[in-house]
Structure 1
Amino acid sequence: MVEQRIPPTPSNFAIWFHYFAGNHDDLRNAIDLLIDHNRPFDDRTNRDLFKTYIAPKVNAAVTADTSERLHDVMGAAKEFLTTAIADNRSQMQVISEVADQGKAGVDPKALVAQLINELARAATRATRLEAGFAEKTRELDVIRDSLSRSEERARTDTLTGLANRRALDEFLRKAQATAAWGEPLSVLMLDIDHFKAFNDNFGHGVGDQVLRLMAKVLREKVRAQDLPARYGGEELIAVLPDADLATCADLAERIRHALAECTITRRSTGEVLPSISVSIGVAQYRAGEAVADLIERCDRALYLAKSSGRNRVMTETELDRAGAAG
């Protein structure tokens, strides 16, 4: 991983563990092909490797384990119900027999004692069944929580804790449907200026620290109804439903200023590192267009910000002006 300059993230470790363990031929062939053709293991390539070869196995293992546990719980519940039904039939039979004995003139004291004994046994059995049902209910709660955590992991970027591309795509589809009724929808995309030089000078560990800081600031600045996500590499994105271009650009400026004021300290040495700056592109959804067109326009605004000197916000309006000037 050091030789290929691969960041030591949990997902990357999983990829290369399976590669060297030799238990995943498709993964080994894919990596060998990349190495033979001198292809860089950038963030996008690493993410695709994990999504294609590792994530399906993880999700399949979780699904299989959950299915087995559910089967056990349902089997136990069926057994409890069968027992309860049988107990009810037994109790009804005893009560019926006592009633018949009462009509036949049997000593009432003996009948009362027999009924008391049967009711005591019934209460004991009911308590035992209730305890069993309570235990299985707790097991179902554990399974439900496990599934929720698994679903959350499948929708979350492991490095930044933001939504990943899968969650982003789902959110954009829903936001687009709402925007089709006339509500504004805007997106902003930000990228760290000179991030490669930062990584080269201070290492990928510090670069990851910077990305987590960016994610934290983005998460704190967006509104509750917005979605901050990791788009790829060092690019982050935020989707803002019910926000026009001016509102989104204003938020982008606040994010840029907040990041410029952050102090970054190298954890291993306590060294205070140079401040960072970001370039941000902003675009607003146009009725009837594909989401891909919105993202592409936002991406072009981002790179216009970079080519115009970095550390600034550019909107799609500047794209139009740049095109007219050209």
Structure 2
Amino acid sequence: MIEVGRTLRTAKDPQLALKRLADELTRATERASTLEAKLVEASGELDGLRTSLEQAELRSRTDALTGLANRGAMESFLRTAQINAMESGDALSVFLIDVDHFKKFNDTYGHQLGDQVLRLVAKCLQEGIRDGDLAARYGGEELIGILPGAPLTITQEIAERVRTRIANANVKKRATGQMIGQVTISSGVAQFKPGESFEALIERCDQALYRAKQSGRNRTIVSDD
């Protein structure tokens, strides 16, 4: 207001001065509107970039076929869970599952059906675990469930629930509608021992899984270590 008054006092033609001030005010308003529009545009671009980065990070931690966590994400989660279990004294258990006669599915019906079977097993695993647990693809046709805070008994119950759900599902070949029949899994369960390495824990799960296979498949075996 002071600058406006000074301009009017010093101007020989007050009306011309007022017009110039009005023009300058209009230009300032237009510049402010343009700047605001650019800020909105930049904010939108930042939101889009942030979303793209989040999606890229998610893809980097997700198995493309099954939609579960991949091996790298699984290892990171399990190591953190091991540290937390040692600090808190809470239980931590893991179960490893393997599709029975998976090679037969691939050889008889083709890899597309094999992929379909893996997605079915992954879906049953993801739906069977609890909030806060992790379902991941360990490798090949082996999937894994990591259950922080769960002792062996609870983990065995969950592994059995997953096994039963899969065994009760009927697989149909999507291309032809042909019924394939029953899919089964074998499962090995182990509870983390304080100070135990990642590899040793998985090895005990794998040994229990092997015994399940040797005992006739389609069953859950708990590590006796």
TM-score bracket, normalised by the shorter chain, equals: over 0.9
Cα offset for 1:244?
0.7
Q: Secondary structure at the match of 1:111?
A: helix
User: 2: CA distance between counterparts of 1:315 and 1:220?
Assistant: 21
Q: 1:101 is matched by which residue type in structure 2?
A: T
What is aligned with 1:227? Answer: 134
Deviations 1:238-284 (A, max 9, x none): 10011111100000110111001101001111111120111000001
**1:81-120 correspondence runs (5 A):** 96=3, 98-104=4-10, 106-120=12-26
Cα offset for 1:142?
1.6
Q: 2:137 is matched by which residue type in structure 1?
A: R
Q: 2:117 is matched by which residue type in structure 1?
A: V
Q: 1:171 is matched by which residue type in structure 2?
A: F
What is aligned with 2:213? Answer: 306
Structure 1's unaligned 5+ residue stretches are 1-91, 321-326
Change (3 A) 1:105 1:152: closer
What is aligned with 1:254? Answer: 161
What is aligned with 1:47? Answer: none
- Does the CA-based 8 Å contact 2:69-2:137 persist in structure 1? yes
Q: Secondary structure at the match of 1:240?
A: strand
What is aligned with 1:144? Answer: 50
What is aligned with 2:112? Answer: 205
Q: TM-score, length-normalised on structure 2? A: 0.94
Cα offset for 1:105?
6.2
Residue from 162, 182, 192 that aligns with 2:68: 162
Q: TM-score, length-normalised on structure 1? A: 0.66
User: 2: CA distance between counterparts of 1:276 and 1:264?
Assistant: 7
- Aligned-residue Cα RMSD (Å) equals 1.7
Q: Secondary structure at the match of 2:23?
A: helix
Q: 1:200 is matched by which residue type in structure 2?
A: D
Structure 2's unaligned 5+ residue stretches are none
Q: Secondary structure at the match of 2:182?
A: coil
Which structure features the higher share of strand residues?
A: 2
Cα offset for 1:106?
4.3
Change (3 A) 1:116 1:105: closer
What is aligned with 1:290? Answer: 197
Change (3 A) 1:255 1:105: closer
1:122 paired to 2:28: yes
Paired residues in the alignment total 224
User: 2: CA distance between counterparts of 1:198 and 1:275?
Assistant: 11
Q: 1:147 is matched by which residue type in structure 2?
A: L
Q: Secondary structure at the match of 1:153?
A: helix
Q: 2:28 is matched by which residue type in structure 1?
A: A
User: 2: CA distance between counterparts of 1:164 and 1:156?
Assistant: 5
Deviations 1:48-106 (A, max 9, x none): xxxxxxxxxxxxxxxxxxxxxxxxxxxxxxxxxxxxxxxxxxxx9xx84x554334364
1:241 paired to 2:166: no
What is aligned with 2:82? Answer: 176
Residue from 131, 142, 155 that aligns with 2:37: 131
What is aligned with 1:38? Answer: none
Q: Secondary structure at the match of 2:146?
A: strand
Change (3 A) 1:105 1:196: closer
Which structure features the higher share of helix residues?
A: 1
Q: 2:188 is matched by which residue type in structure 1?
A: G
Residue from 193, 196, 215 that aligns with 2:122: 215
Identity percentage over the alignment?
A: 51
Which structure has more relative contact order (CA 8 Å, sep 6+)? It is 2
Cα offset for 1:174?
1.2
- Does the CA-based 8 Å contact 2:11-2:17 persist in structure 1? no
